[in-house]
Amino acid sequence: MDRSQALRAQISELVAEYAATTLRRAPFEPGRTVIPPSGRVIGASELQLMVEASLDGWLTTGRFNEEFERRLAAFLGVKHLITVNSGSSANLVAFSTLTSPKLGSRAIKSGDEVIGVAAGFPTTVNPILQFGAVPVFVDVELGTYNVDASKIEAAVSPKTKAIMLAHTLGNPYNLSAVTALCKQYDLWLIEDCCDALGATYGGRLVGTFGDVGTLSFYPAHHITMGEGGAVFTNNDELKVIAESFRDWGRDCYCAPGKDNTCGKRFCWKLGQLPEGYDHKYTYSHLGYNLKISDMQAACALAQMDRLNGFIAARRRNFGFLSERLRSCEDFFVLPHATPSSEPSWFGFPITLKSASAGSRTELLTYLDQNKIGTRLLFGGNLTRQPYMQGRAYRVAGTLDVTDQVMNDTFWIGVYPGLEEQHLAYVVEKIEHFFGIGF
């Protein structure tokens, strides 16, 4: 072992000692310990790999990212996965990919329509608007909080080119119905899996049914690298286009630090450029720069060893809440999994019934006073958000359930950092609010 290797080993040992000293959790104190709806779970291995990446001095995408992409693609069972700097960027790249002129008549163009829902996070919809296409909103189901698949076909028009939907809070939507419609009408399908890593439908992982899938690695999500996301596909052409949009829109597909992968770097004739113009500086798309650093990838690579345990913990926590909160069914609607699915839960959604005692604001205020974190179902009804005023969109039918979600729904956490003692306290306080057992 040379001197540099010895120093790395010594530093790694010190990082492990630091983690053991500083990352220990304080004992749970009911009413004093904050119970967040989400959070990251990291330990010595994440810190050690991040430090190792920093010692490499390779500040952009490198060996850790390459290994992370390989391992996550293998977990998903897909041919291609590329990292980006957020889940929102993943959605942007996924949608932009389907607008490429290289796709010919199937390319999404300005004015084309894309079917989705308004009950969700804005960046599942925003890329549609940012490009100049038109989102068409379909209502959702109460209980699953996913698109009401029976209403999608009525939303299809001659202008429809794609369906772009998220698996809400880790609960898969009806992929049998959605994929059948995509096949019938020759539509693209983008699966936003940012909240659903590890969820399955019919025994198959979500994200692998559509043309493109997306993930987020923000600390609230199933695994984290701080800020980050991914786009994945089994389509070779879409993979190359997605990389182009991520990497400035360039036509060259060389990895960072590599040249002449194609073997004809100075032999291309594209656009109105002179023949032989350097392929590394030839741009076929109006692209972005959305890569991550290798330090981020190192964190996520360590998280891969925990992923199956994280998914199991989320399911276990969801099951505990489902069982214990049956006592409150007179007051709110309990969530349920989509038939044929096994969710990888991001949260536990609750919708207050109209006859329930107390408004949502009163309940959330009470929970907040008792150190229990909650979240609304993201944007509620996006068509009612300030930024949507004056923008072009279409509503197919009504959004009655979406409005109900906006007015009466919230969710509580199931992330792996929560244990039974935390969840039991949450149940106790919810029951107390409704006067159950008191």
pLDDT classification of 254: cutoffs 50, 70, 90: confident
Q: What is the mean pLDDT of residues 151-173?
A: 99
pLDDT classification of 220: cutoffs 50, 70, 90: very high
What pLDDT is recorded for position 210?
A: 98
Q: At what angle do helices 307-324 and 420-433 cross, to 10 degrees?
A: 30
Residues annotated catalytic, as ranges: 221
Instruction: Measure the CA–CA gap between 61 and 63, rounded to whole angstroms.
Output: 7
CATH class of 51-254+285-295: alpha beta
Q: At what angle do helices 63-76 and 44-56 cross, to 10 degrees?
A: 140
pLDDT classification of 347: cutoffs 50, 70, 90: very high
What are the extents of the domains in the chain? Answer: 51-254+285-295, 304-434
What pLDDT is recorded for position 357?
A: 55
The whole model's pTM is what? 0.95
Q: What is the mean pLDDT of residues 92-113?
A: 98
Same fold, 51-254+285-295 and 304-434: no
Q: Report DSSP state, residue 172.
A: -
Q: What is the mean pLDDT of residues 162-172?
A: 99
Q: What is the mean pLDDT of residues 376-392?
A: 98
What pLDDT is recorded for position 356?
A: 59
What pLDDT is recorded for position 365?
A: 97
CA 101, 104, 108: angle at the middle one, nearest 5?
65
Reply yes or no on whether the pLDDT at 133 is more than 90.
yes
β-strands 204-205, 347-352 pairing: unpaired
Whether domain 304-434 has CATH 3.90.180.10: no
